[in-house]
Amino acid sequence: MESFVVALSVVVPIYNVERYLDECLRSLQVQTWDDLEVVMVDDGSPDGSAAIAARYAEQDPRFRLIQQENGGLGAARNTGIEHARGDFLTFVDSDDVIPSYAFGYHLESLRRSGSDFSSGNVHRLNELGTRQSPMHRRIFRTAKTGTHITREDTLLVDRLATNKVWRRSFWDRHGMTFPVGVLHEDIPVAIPLHFLAESVDVLSAPVYLWRERPSDDKSITQDRLRPQALEDRVSAVTKVSDFLRENQPPLQKRRWDAVALGSDLRLFLQVLDRADADFTRRLVELGNAYLDQVDDKVLRDLPAIERLKWHLIRQRKVEQLREVIVFNKSAEHKKAKIVRHGIRYYADYPFKDDPAQGVPRSVYRVRSELKLRQKAEELTWVDGKLVVGGRVCLKYLRPNKRLQQQVRAWAVNAEDGRRVRLSTTTHQANEFRLAPTVATSRKDWGGYRIVIDPAELGDEGDWYVELGVVNRGFRRVDRLKKPAAADVRMLGPEQVRPGVWARPHWVDDFELRLTVERPAVVLDGSAVEGSSLVLSGRATGTPTEGLSAYVQRFPGDVEVPAKVETDGASVRVLADLAALTDGYQDRDAIAGSDPYEDWSVHLRDGSGRSRWIPFAEDGPEGRYAHSGLSVRVLPDFAGRTRVRVERPQPLLTAVSWDDDVLDLRGDFPETPTGELSLVVKAVGRMEEHLFPVEAADGRFSASVPPTAIPNFGTKVPLTPGNYRFLLRTATGDNQWDDRRIGFSRELRTAKFPAPEKEGGFDLELKPDGRGWPVLRLGSVLRPEEQGSYAQQVLREEVYPKLRRKPVLPGIVFDSYTGKQFSDSPRDMYEELRRRGVETPMSWMVRNRQITLPPGLTEVRHTSREYFEALARSEFIVSNAHLPMWFEKQPGQKVVQTWHGSMLKRIGFDIEHVQFAGRNYHDRLRHETNQWDYLVSPSPWATPILRRAFGFENEILETGYPRNDIFHRPEREAVTEAVRERLGLPEGKKVILYAPTWRDDKFYSVGKYKLDLHLDLRRLYDALGDDHVLLFRRHPNIVDRVPNVGKDFVFDVSAYPEIQELFLVTDILITDYSSLMFDFANTGRPMLFFTYDLEEYRDSLRGFYFDFAETAPGPLLRTSDEVIDSIRDIDGVQEAHRERYEAFVNQFCPLDDGKAAARVVEQVFGKLL
């Protein structure tokens, strides 16, 4: 082995990661800390991973490849350790990504602190981008240097090995190796080493991007229903528990056991509702074995919901445990009440005070749940004093009376602990969950106002605010945290006396600090001179002799020295531009990268003390071009100087409202190479809208009408939420370059509310927490209708009163809970209008997303009118579920049209429901008892509907009104209008791809993935000359439809009526969607792309008939099969002609253009 030593060894085990490996290794290659070696261990990978690793080893001498037979992750890591030659050691899993600054951030921290290892924040990486890893949020909320696991409870869940950099001497001293042949090998290494360390650095910025693999490629640790995963996790936590019993005081074992029960083993409890009998039995056995060696105090200190689960494990009550798991994962858990018995509080969870189950009441007692909740909503300077306002309370214990809660506050010096009592008052404010501006009667005494006088804090020091709250005898203490709005983060410094500045800022964007300081220099100018960025400032009177300077890349990368020049009255800091910009383009291309790199600027005096350089209040921003990049000199929110390196970014310089139209103007210091568009992109979901841009001479302008977005011939508002802005330059065929649009300095702290408009949206353009422009669309509801309490009042007080009033003549229609003007309710409405019925009619509309015809009254979803319509309308027509609180009164009639024939099982026929909460069947029974009529599409469907819904009233076997359009005389005229509305080219066949959603493919509750296996690029290459593809994603899916080829893919997901899309479709591609039953009316060919047939049929929902034998077209597994079938579509149609005819005869015998008439005559006969 070579004798030289590098600073850092990076061990990368490799096995079956061909899909991700290049991205991983590239992120290591572009690290800002380049004194490293990458030890790649090919663990017998059967795919092409070794070839990718070998290429890196050939191209970069820092990369070495070791190959061995497969032994598992632990064995591969151990091999890597044996070959590592660095002073420091880290591990990277080969499907993950490392931010470019991460290793420099680690090593700079360890250089300063001397700690045994550092551990940094973790973000999850998936197809949508990056997000904070939930399990790491609390651990890395704030940075800490030289801390220890015995002082920080959060470090007990810092169980990954990969987000750490270890001193090799520390690692070797304890002879640590990874377990071999098991999963969860990190736990028995990371946690014991935390206890064995003398000190540890906690880094708050993300140092590790932990991949969340897509549903078709789960890692073995993502699959929690694998018996091996359960066995190995229990083994891992048991090893740690044994280690602590043998090497630490009993308290430390109790702390760990609480984490094991409440976190590690909880992961497996939470999937018990989907587990088979063998997995369940083994979980109960292993859980009881672990509980045998756990102190009773541990269970007492768990949250009540976890204590209940482990109690049921102890009692081996599996069915009751499953019910609690489903409850825990449903909205019911969040809504559960806390009740008082004597002086104690208990959670109203399943089986509480149920004598049949015999669960002791003590199991339900809440302790740790009564957490301090706080948010800062105001931060301002008043007469040289800092005023902080916000709200604070204990969770579940609202201070309804003034005497129920007392608040105290102290300023605490972060270095010496000195305390100063602060002036604190409390006042009535909106309840914690509501914004302070919402009009509501739901107020409590949770408001606070704290005044900090910097004159009491001395000339220099770093201070935080400690909040003390006493509520009904419960005392909680915490630091003042959680800025609730962007403007709270943006307050600049104040000169409180000559030469002394007080600077409020939020540490890690979370905890309030007030720094009082005497800066030596205030920056008031910048320039580029040759190869240097020159920052110039005026001296404040503090001696400037002996000053040195450095710049440091955020969040804390290695220091880069800068030159200082001073004449006593002024100071110049010269930073090397190459040091600031070299390698930026490579780093910017790494997944998860920020759109810029920020550098802080520091002066260090003769004593070694380092200070930021404040930016003069009237100082000009600098903006310079260097090597194709933009280098900006600007202040951060706290008034500290930053140097920002980025690709040239567009900046808004002027914003105005013209009625409801937002006019934007700005600078873009780059000559566009293609067509420019303004992109309005939703935050948190895959939705974007493009608008034209005018650009000339480095300036651009665009207009956005947020309440009138074009939508297939109509205009609808954006849905409520936040939207960011990007400037998009077309760079090729379906390729583009997006640049995030920022604010110029003059606009950075401004707000731009739209003119108020009766009944309109609350519209505002403002900065987000990082200063980026964000367009916010609030609720369309009135202020008194917004918020959970207002809705509770409407639901529990207003609605029951309205039900006691007489029923009014009228019909209220609903399609997909207010999302569409479509489906059978629409056809019934139009039939009534054709017959001249004049009874009042209205339509449920959610967020103004529907354009209604003249004469049809809009009812805003969840408004007071909504509750009144449901309480008093004579007829209610819906194709979706009604709210659970709905109770029809005498004289009301409910018509349920449902929304499709059934291939997939529905209602009571679904044994294990994956998409609903506890008591789904009970709630369904309650709802179906409200229905008077249920529309059936066919004689085949009628018995299924009656059984699946437990429906005992009248079934209208009429056919679906929504299919009348296929047989009505206006069909051709509608077809031509739809083609024109979509802009379809003449002479090309139209393919419609409309897959259903997968119950188990989701990002979070209600946000389902586009599980796309159809290769659109292959379709375009093979068929693009004479076909176009309409793509209709299910409303539950949040992913964007990929755009492939020129004028080939048309995203029609937002088109309001799918039956109209069927009229222009020549070939339908679907899978298990009920659309097949409707499209059969066209007689045109259908292809079924069923790549996951067995899993979907056998594991998710189950089918009502043998789909493979009955489908009116071929079942296809691959994109090639789909392409071949389209090329030979006439032959395919002929081969399935008999099955197609049988399918129509069985499922569509009533579709004749008169279904709406039949329903109307039977239900509304008296109105005709």
> Minimal CA–CA distance to 545: which of 460, 602, 610, 606?
606
**Residue 1129: its pLDDT value, please?**
97
Return the bridge partners of 124, or none: 131, 210
**Residue 1001: its pLDDT value, please?**
65
Burial call 535-553: b when 16+ CB within 10 Å, e when fewer? bbbebbeeebeebbbbbbb
DSSP state of 135: G
Mean pLDDT score, 494-501? 89
Domain count, the chain: 7
Mean pLDDT of the chain: 92
Is there a single domain that holds both residue 728 and residue 856? no
Is there a single domain that holds both residue 1123 and residue 992? yes
Q: Within a domain: residue 1166?
A: no
Rg (CA), the chain: 32
* pLDDT band (50, 70, 90) for residue 839: very high
Q: Give the model confidence (pLDDT) of 797-833 as tens digits.
A: 999 999 999 999 999 999 999 999 999 999 999 999 9
Q: Within a domain: residue 1153?
A: no
CA-CA-CA-CA dihedral for 97, 99, 101, 103, to nearest 10: -30
Q: Give the model confidence (pLDDT) of 755-812 as tens digits.
A: 776 567 788 898 887 889 999 998 889 888 988 888 999 999 999 999 999 999 999 9
Give the burial class of 43: count Cβ atoms within 10 A of its Cβ; 0-12 exposed, 13-18 middle, 19 or more buried. buried
Measure Cα distances from 717 to 305, 743, 760, 1066, 1129 in Å.
41, 24, 10, 32, 40
- 585, two tokens: 């383009």
**Residue 1060: its pLDDT value, please?**
96
Give Cα 459 distance to the centre of its chain.
43
In which region does residue 1029 sit, left (phi positive, over 0), alpha (psi from -120 to 50) or beta (all else)?
beta
Is the pTM for the entire model greater than 0.75?
yes
Q: Are 813 and 829 within 8 A, CB to CB?
A: yes
Q: Domain with 1136 in it: what CATH number?
A: 3.40.50.12580
- 1089, two tokens: 């792309």
Q: Are 1026 and 1123 within 8 A, CB to CB?
A: no
**Residue 1: its pLDDT value, please?**
36
Give Cα 942 distance to the centre of its chain.
41
What is the spatial distance between Cα 92 and Cα 612, in angstroms, rounded to a whole number? 34
Is there a single domain that holds both residue 41 and residue 170? yes
215 has a pLDDT exceeding 80: no
3 has a pLDDT exceeding 60: no
**Residue 635: its pLDDT value, please?**
92
Sequential DSSP letters for 1139-1162? HHHHHHHHH-TT-SS-HHHHHHHH
464 has a pLDDT exceeding 80: yes
Sequential DSSP letters for 380-443? EEETTEEEEEEEEEETTB---SGGGEEEEEEEEETTT--EEE-EEEEEEEE-TTS-TTS--S-E
Helix (H) / strand (E) element for 503: namely strand 500-507
Q: Within a domain: residue 586?
A: yes
Is there a single domain that holds both residue 765 and residue 828? no
Give Cα 405 distance to the centre of its chain.
34
Q: Are 207 and 163 within 8 A, CB to CB?
A: yes
Is there a single domain that holds both residue 42 and residue 66? yes
Q: Are 510 and 386 within 8 A, CB to CB?
A: no
216 has a pLDDT exceeding 50: no
- 149, two tokens: 């696991």
Is there a single domain that holds both residue 107 and residue 183? yes
Helices 277-291 and 227-247: angle between axes, nearest 10 degrees: 0
Mean pLDDT score, 1091-1108? 82
DSSP state of 619: P
Q: Within a domain: residue 498?
A: no
Mean pLDDT score, 563-586? 94
Mean pLDDT score, 591-599? 90
Give Cα 357 distance to the centre of its chain.
38
Measure Cα distances from 574 to 525, 561, 578, 596, 767 in Å.
12, 9, 12, 21, 32
Is there a single domain that holds both residue 213 and residue 228? no
What is the spatial distance between Cα 141 and Cα 1078, in angstroms, rounded to a whole number? 53
Is there a single domain that holds both residue 270 and residue 384? no
Count, residues in the chain: 1168
The dihedral through the CA atoms of 908, 913, 916, 919 has a sign that is positive
* pLDDT band (50, 70, 90) for residue 310: very high
What is the spatial distance between Cα 1007 and Cα 995, in angstroms, rounded to a whole number? 16
What is the spatial distance between Cα 778 and Cα 437, in angstroms, rounded to a whole number? 12
DSSP state of 924: H
Side-by-side strand order, sheet with 651-658? 694-696, 699-704, 661-667, 651-658, 742-743
Q: Within a domain: residue 194?
A: yes
Ranking 414-423, 606-615, 1023-1032 by mean pLDDT, the lowest is 606-615
What is the spatial distance between Cα 702 and Cα 709, in angstroms, rounded to a whole number? 14
What is the spatial distance between Cα 635 and Cα 1098, in angstroms, rounded to a whole number? 59
CA-CA-CA-CA dihedral for 172, 175, 176, 182, to nearest 10: 140
**Residue 438: its pLDDT value, please?**
67
Sequential DSSP letters for 1105-1129? S-HHHH-SS-EE-SHHHHHHHHHTH
Sequential DSSP letters for 1081-1100? GG---EEEE-TTHHHIIIII
Q: Within a domain: residue 108?
A: yes
> Minimal CA–CA distance to 523: which of 460, 601, 604, 575?
601
**Residue 2: its pLDDT value, please?**
43
Is there a single domain that holds both residue 216 and residue 233? no
Helices 49-59 and 21-29: angle between axes, nearest 10 degrees: 20
Q: Give the model confidence (pLDDT) of 95-133 as tens digits.
A: 999 999 999 999 999 999 999 999 999 999 986 688 899
1106, HSE (Cβ side, Cα atoms, 13 Å): 4
Q: Give the model confidence (pLDDT) of 37-67 as tens digits.
A: 999 999 999 999 999 999 999 999 999 999 9
What is the spatial distance between Cα 318 and Cα 278, in angstroms, rounded to a whole number? 12
What is the spatial distance between Cα 124 and Cα 133, in angstroms, rounded to a whole number? 5
Mean pLDDT score, 359-384? 95
**Residue 887: its pLDDT value, please?**
96
Is there a single domain that holds both residue 884 and residue 846? yes
Q: Of the residues 617, 646, 675, which one is the last residue of a structural domain?
A: 646
Q: Domain with 744 in it: what CATH number?
A: 2.60.40
Give the burial class of 657: count Cβ atoms within 10 A of its Cβ; 0-12 exposed, 13-18 middle, 19 or more buried. middle
In which region does residue 1147 sit, left (phi positive, over 0), alpha (psi from -120 to 50) or beta (all else)?
alpha
**Residue 1037: its pLDDT value, please?**
73
Q: Within a domain: residue 1132?
A: yes
Is there a single domain that holds both residue 296 and residue 276? yes
Q: Of the residues 513, 548, 577, which one is the last residue of a structural domain?
A: 513
Mean pLDDT score, 170-190? 95
> Minimal CA–CA distance to 237: which of 255, 210, 219?
255
Q: Angle 690-693-697 (CA atoms, 0-180°, nearest 5)?
A: 150
In which region does residue 967 sit, left (phi positive, over 0), alpha (psi from -120 to 50) or beta (all else)?
alpha
Give percent above pLDDT 90 in the chain.
Answer: 76
What is the spatial distance between Cα 800 and Cα 868, in angstroms, rounded to a whole number? 10
Q: Of the residues 604, 622, 646, which one is the last residue of a structural domain?
A: 646
* pLDDT band (50, 70, 90) for residue 508: confident
Is there a single domain that holds both residue 154 and residue 197? yes
Q: Domain with 103 in it: what CATH number?
A: 3.90.550.10
Mean pLDDT score, 913-932? 79
Q: Within a domain: residue 1163?
A: no
* pLDDT band (50, 70, 90) for residue 1006: low
Side-by-side strand order, sheet with 1027-1031? 1049-1051, 1027-1031, 989-993, 1067-1070, 1086-1089, 1115-1116
In which region does residue 288 sit, left (phi positive, over 0), alpha (psi from -120 to 50) or beta (all else)?
alpha
> What is the domain extent for residue 167?
6-222
